[in-house]
Amino acid sequence: MQAVEQCLKYLLKGQREVRQQCDGELSPSLVLAESLFRYQKLQDNFSTTPFKNVVVIGPTQAGKSTIVNWLAGEQVAVADALAGFTRHAQGFSQVEITAEIQESLSGFFEGWEKLEQRELSKSQSAAWSLQAIGSRHSAFDGTIIWDTPDFDSVSARTYRNVAMKMLAIADVVVFMVSKEKYADETVWQTLKTLQPLRIPLLICLNKTPDSAAQEILPELDNRLQEANLQAAVVTIPYLEDMQQASEYEESVKQATQKLLTGSRKQGIEDSVSALARKHWDEWALGANAENQQHDQWQQLIHESLEHACQHYEKNYLLGSQYEATLQKAMVRLLELLEVPGIAESLVHARKLLTWPARKLRGVFSDRQSLVKGNSENLDAEKVILSESLMQLLISLQHGAGKNMTADSAQEKQWWKNIFNAIEAQKKTITGDFETQIEQYQQAFSPEIDAAAQTLYAHLEKNPAKLNSLRAARVTTDAAAVVFALKTGGIGLNDLVLTPAMLSFVSLLTEGALGKYMQGVEKKLKQSQKQAVCAGLIHESLKQRLGKIELQMSRRGLYNVPGEMLVEAEKRLGISHESI
């Protein structure tokens, strides 16, 4: 059940985070389930648990403190007419409080401060107390009696779940309720939450005279049956003189002792499973919705990557800019068409005809400068790929912004966080992508060389055409070298405009050789599309975009991994069909 325990911790932590943002309350049943695992660890510290716990709960002014004092045999719990007077779990032990017991209970109350009863303050809700008391009643030797806060007052929202937490530790629950409140919705919500645990239950119907009890008890019994609850019931009239209390005090003690002689009707794992089956939809609702937003985000990334590929294919592979790649192949072919006597000059020309390695600067901040400036010096493929990324990031932010208009506050928060994460990481993403473009181009150079080698191998089978091209190449190389010496540099576009180069291209594109060259070009484009779309965009860029969600703020989110929910459901035997 370790997977279940971990998942419940994540769900509870997530609920706290989300509820803090909207000033809401935690799910009582989830608090109870997570606390059951804490109780299991408490029990694991002992070969035989050296004490039992009687937990007294109930709505405000039901008489909980009075019952605690009856069970303790002395005045240990302080009662007050004001609602919300008791706000902490207060234990009164009739067993020796050893260091081992102290340590185990501290583990159960992890994150809460242990204080003396007199030190408990309304301003500090995460606190508890435990004090040793006399053992005047042997029936309760080895027992810790717990007083708890109410769960129905206006102010109870800040401490309501203390009672829920304490139900996890209970061997017997004494549920205090008055005749005025026994039918209240909050009372039955609490009882129904307790039902899957099958913990022995005593209902004390307080401030109920015999005449009223005759009417209330049958109705109470019916409601208990409807809720599938078993409980012992005692009635206590309104006692103006506590001297008259001894008879009722004894009946409460006897009923409690009878329940204590048994044990918890089911183990922790069975209790959690039963509780989860009943409340899993409620617990996992927000986390599942969040994982649906994760799926929507992944779909948005996928669609944006597809659009980036389409932009690259349309504007580069199928556009006039693709001449740059073909010219690189032709330059390589020129080198293969060796002519004795000018090799040394061609080495210099080759250096001038390599792929530009200039950095793209300000692609996203000042795109117009690329258009109006020295764009002829930039690598056309790089520019188009950078444009693809720019459009992709804009598309992602647009999609996130659109989802921020959702009705759900939690959904708005998720998309707000992802929008801010895109903005924060945009500069890093563009910088990384520029590096990846250069790496791709370097890795793809052998493909261009291979295209030239394929053409040359084909030409070797046609000696006449090969000799014609070699003759044209001499003139082309001469023109290139002269131009390079005059200007101190040469560009591919300048080379293709020379008359000799035009003649060279004409020879390549004529007749059967031209058709063969078209086939080589098609194959080169396919390889380039695969390298860019599958490798550069759908692999490298997708991986980088995946980090956006990992690095976004978790404020106001559940942050429960989907696979963790699935594994917990599997361990609990929960299927969505059976919930």
The tens digit of pLDDT for each residue in 312-331 reads 999 998 887 776 676 677 66
CB 101 within 8 A of CB 50: yes
pLDDT at 262 over 80: no
Average pLDDT of the segment spanning 16-35: 84
pLDDT at 346 over 50: no
**Residues 44-81: b if buried by 16+ CB within 10 A, e if exposed:** eeeeebebbbbbbbbbbbbbbbbbbbbbbbeebbeeee
Strand ranges inside 272-342, DSSP E: none
More confident residue, 41 or 128: 128
The CA distance from 285 to 376, in Å, is 56
pLDDT for 372-401, tens place per residue?
333 344 588 999 999 999 999 999 999 999
Confidence (pLDDT) at 50: 79
- Other CB atoms within 10 Å distance of the CB of residue 518: 11
Task: Answer positive or negative: Cα dihedral of 106, 108, 112, 117.
Answer: negative
More confident residue, 55 or 366: 55
At a CB cut-off of 8 Å and minimum separation 6, what does 105 contact?
42, 91, 130
Confidence (pLDDT) at 224: 94
The alpha carbon of residue 472 and the mean position of all alpha carbons in its chain are separated, in whole angstroms, by 65
Kindly indicate the confidence band of residue 22, based on its pLDDT and cuts at 50, 70 and 90. low
Helix and strand numbers (H, E) in the chain are: 20, 8
The CA distance from 115 to 121, in Å, is 10
Token look-up 């759900």 returns: 408
Kindly indicate the confidence band of residue 461, based on its pLDDT and cuts at 50, 70 and 90. confident
Report percent pLDDT > 70 for the chain.
Answer: 77
- Other CB atoms within 10 Å distance of the CB of residue 477: 22
The CA distance from 417 to 422, in Å, is 9
Kindly indicate the confidence band of residue 154, based on its pLDDT and cuts at 50, 70 and 90. low
pLDDT at 205 over 50: yes
**DSSP H/E element including 428:** helix 409-460
Upper half-sphere CA count for residue 1 (Cβ side, 13 Å): 19
The CA distance from 291 to 107, in Å, is 32
Kindly indicate the confidence band of residue 211, based on its pLDDT and cuts at 50, 70 and 90. confident
pLDDT at 83 over 60: no
SS3 content of the chain, % helix, strand, coil (to 5): 65, 5, 25
Q: Which two tokens stand for residue 292?
A: 């649906």
Kindly indicate the confidence band of residue 14, based on its pLDDT and cuts at 50, 70 and 90. very high
The DSSP-derived string for 475-492 is HHHHHHHHHHHHHS---H
Kindly indicate the confidence band of residue 2, based on its pLDDT and cuts at 50, 70 and 90. confident
Pairing of strands 232-235, 113-114: unpaired
Q: Within 23-98, where are the H helices?
A: 28-44, 64-72
The CA distance from 88 to 90, in Å, is 6
Average pLDDT of the segment spanning 133-147: 78
Token look-up 């980090």 returns: 547
Quote the pTM value: 0.73
CB 389 within 8 A of CB 422: no
Average pLDDT of the segment spanning 552-572: 91
The CA distance from 181 to 178, in Å, is 5
Looking at residue 314, the DSSP 8-state letter turns out to be I
More confident residue, 59 or 85: 59
Confidence (pLDDT) at 366: 37
Average pLDDT of the segment spanning 496-520: 63
Kindly indicate the confidence band of residue 460, based on its pLDDT and cuts at 50, 70 and 90. confident
Q: Which two tokens stand for residue 75?
A: 């005045």
Confidence (pLDDT) at 492: 41
pLDDT for 463-491, tens place per residue?
777 677 666 665 555 455 444 444 444 44
Coil vs helix vs strand at 91: strand
Confidence (pLDDT) at 31: 93
CB 198 within 8 A of CB 262: no
Confidence (pLDDT) at 501: 54
The CA distance from 107 to 42, in Å, is 7
pLDDT at 77 over 50: yes
Choose among 86, 79, 64, 201: nearest CA to 145.
64
